[in-house]
Amino acid sequence: MQLVEQYMRLFAGRSHEAIGHPLDISLAEVASILFCTLRNATLTLKKMQSQGWVVWQPGRGRGNRSVLTCLLAPEDLIMSVAKELVQKGEIRAARDMIEEYGVNFPVINEKFSRWMNSQFGHRVKREKGSIGRVDTLRLFYSRPFAGLDPIHILLRSESHMVKQLFDSLVQFDPVTRRIEPAIAFYWEASEEGRQWTFYLRKGVLFHHGRPLVADDVRFSFLRLMEHSYKHRWLAASIESITVKDDYVLTISLHMSDELFLQALSKEYMAIVPCDYVLEMGEQFAQMPVGTGPFRVVRNDDSMLVLEAFTPYFGGRPFLDRIEIWCVPGMAAEAQVDESLLSVTALDDHRNRSSLAWSDVGRLEDCFQYVSLNGAKNGPLSHSEFRGLMVAIICGQALRQELQGTREHAVIWGKTDSFQIKREVPDSQELVRIFKESGYQGEALSLYTYPDLDHIEDAQWIQKTCKEYGIAIEIRYASPEELASSLLLQEADLVVDSANVDERTELSLREFLQAGALSISHHLDPHGKEEIAHWMNRMSCVQTAQDRQACVDSIMHTLAACGTFVPLYSNRVEMLAHPRLSGVSLDAYGWIDFRRIFVRE
């Protein structure tokens, strides 16, 4: 802010002892310091005085000097202005200001971070009139939510938000592991399982006020099939969609698919309003409209704000407002605070030992892995070289050295024990493998995200491979870049995270078929053929036991191919205030906002 910078110039060269002490100075001297006219200098001083930063007493008459009294130390002024910006919702401007002045005043970085921590948790505001009590849950996240279009989302955080904003035709209950009604209240299938008829609820409203009809469902599915390179695998079995009337439609499949209803329950297949999507174009991803329990009222690089959607057909949530402030780097600086979900800012976690805080931690179903590109010409197309890399990149060794929240990898309900145990060969054998694979010391490219855990994993792999004479060049890419098929085909190695939830078989299908993930691009031809066989069989068999047998066969095929090395699963820890109820972590490590309420 210009006014802050001008105050810094006036204060420059003065010690803290000068605060509150009058300084004789002429208006001309002030104008010279500020590089402005006398008139602008007068206006600037008046602005500063109205803000309570200075006291300005202009001299009256010839020979009477003016007096300037600075009332704030520069770092205190910066903190004060930054707080005002935050309270007005201008988080980005406050962050930029702290970053700019933190170079010369390092103390403000810690002070601002500590103050920001105190702003999160549950807040209650009493308002007069019909609104009455307003319950707000305020959280922070490391990046803006720029993309909330269901067919284009990539990150687990985006998936979670989409679940709060949209509904699918049916929903999956992770506890009972059963498909339940959502937008469709009833459905029936033909005997051979190729024709499915869905009956939609009447009165389901989109956030912009229009009732949902069957044409919206058809539009949503066709849109995914035609425009979503990342998620069109979900609709691969769909042959045609026929709208019977506003509340009945039939979906025909190429062949029966035992996972079809699970596919319909995924957030990528959420129902969107055709009119609003066409009207908004690319802006739909930033200000989306769905039928979910919350609606977006603000989404920019400062914060995402959701408000409860009162007409929600599933019942209005208790929370009135969710604010997610964008504070990059804060999670790394304040991991303890990130794992605390308090009722108000007055709940100091230093005193939590005297309270019965609820531990809602869990091991994520998702897991970190590295894939090796066996489909690219080069040393990794040689099976023995890939086997060597698998032996070198040992998940257990990585976990022991890096520690943190990394724990034994859990993969589709199993530990990584299915992996073939490989030993790193002796130096003579290494020379043979290098020669036969054509490896001559060139750097292999490893792509990953520039997030802290991914950086640590990539650097550990680089260091460990170097010990055996294999050079790794780390290249960082954004989530959008890392979803590019061209980049994935070019990469030698990719460190990524697999999205896994209680829909075990469907999660495996996503892992292997989603175009935005590396495995589908890195399998060698034989591995692709073998896995395609088991994937087709998994879609046809009717019992859970038979499908699990297919899952096991796929996992063993992956291990034999040497294309996939599981590293670890993360443990997510959260302590919730005893007055907060309905707090639980889902498979992605997030809390379902619609279930939270506050007890008195």
Mean pLDDT to the nearest integer, 7-26: 81
Of 10-14, 60-64, 347-351, 424-428, the range with the highest mean pLDDT is 424-428
**Is residue 298 over pLDDT 80?**
yes
Of the chain, the percentage scoring pLDDT greater than 70 comes to 92
Mean pLDDT, residues 51-67 = 80
Report whether pLDDT(452) > 70: yes
pLDDT at 253: 96
Radius of gyration of the chain measured on its C-alpha atoms: 29
pLDDT value at residue 418? 58
Please write the tens of the pLDDT for every residue from 379-434: 999 999 999 999 999 999 999 999 998 998 878 766 665 566 677 888 889 999 99
**Phi and psi based region of residue 595 (left: phi greater than 0; alpha: psi -120 to 50; beta: remaining):** alpha
pLDDT value of position 349: 45
Residue 514's nearest CA partner among 152, 142, 56, 46 is: 152
Residue-wise pLDDT tens digits, 225-277: 999 988 999 999 999 999 999 999 999 999 999 999 999 999 999 999 999 99
Which option is the CATH number for 2-72: 3.90.650.10, 1.10.10.10, 1.20.120.80, 1.10.600.10? 1.10.10.10
Residue 456 makes CB contacts below 8 A (sequence gap 6+) with: 402, 404
Residues 518-534, mean pLDDT to the nearest whole number:
91
Nearest by Cα to 476 from 498, 451, 497: 451
Of the candidates 472, 413, 410, the residue with the CA atom closest to the CA atom of residue 441: 472
pLDDT at 213: 98
pTM of the full structure? 0.86
Name the CATH architecture for the domain at 136-142+296-361+573-598: 3-Layer(aba) Sandwich (3.40)
Structure-block tokens of residue 441: 């010391």
Of the pLDDT bands very low, low, confident and very high (cuts 50, 70, 90), residue 294 is: very high
Domain with CATH 3.10.105.10 in the chain: 367-572
- Answer whether residue 488 shows pLDDT above 80: yes
Integer Cα distance of 125 and 263 in angstroms: 41
For residue 272, the model assigns a pLDDT of 98
Q: Which fold has domain 156-292?
A: Dipeptide-binding Protein; domain 1 (3.90.76)
- Of 22, 20, 132, whose CA–CA distance to 76 is shortest? 20
Structure confidence by residue, pLDDT tens digits, 316-373: 999 999 999 988 866 544 433 334 454 443 344 445 454 566 777 788 888 999 999 9
* Span 300-315, pLDDT tens digits: 999 999 999 999 999 9
Task: CATH 3.90.76.10 in the chain: give the residue spans.
Answer: 156-292
- Distance (Å, whole) CA 355 – CA 352: 5
Mean pLDDT across the chain: 88
pLDDT band at 532 (very low <50, low <70, confident <90, very high): very high
Neighbours of 575 (CB within 10 A): 18
- pLDDT tens digits, residue range 149-188? 999 999 889 999 999 999 999 999 998 999 999 999 999 9
Give the fold, CATH level 3, of 367-572: Dipeptide-binding Protein; domain 3 (3.10.105)
**Residue for token pair 């803006």:** 144
As a whole number, mean pLDDT of residues 524-544 equals 90
Q: What is the pLDDT of residues 379-394, one digit of tens each?
A: 999 999 999 999 999 9
| Beta-strand runs (E) in 309-453 | 321-326, 340-341, 358-359, 362-363, 367-372, 406-407, 410-411, 414-415, 444-448
- Which of these, 268, 287, 153, 172, lies nearest to 220 by C-alpha position? 268
- Which residues of the chain are in CATH 1.10.10.10 domains? 2-72
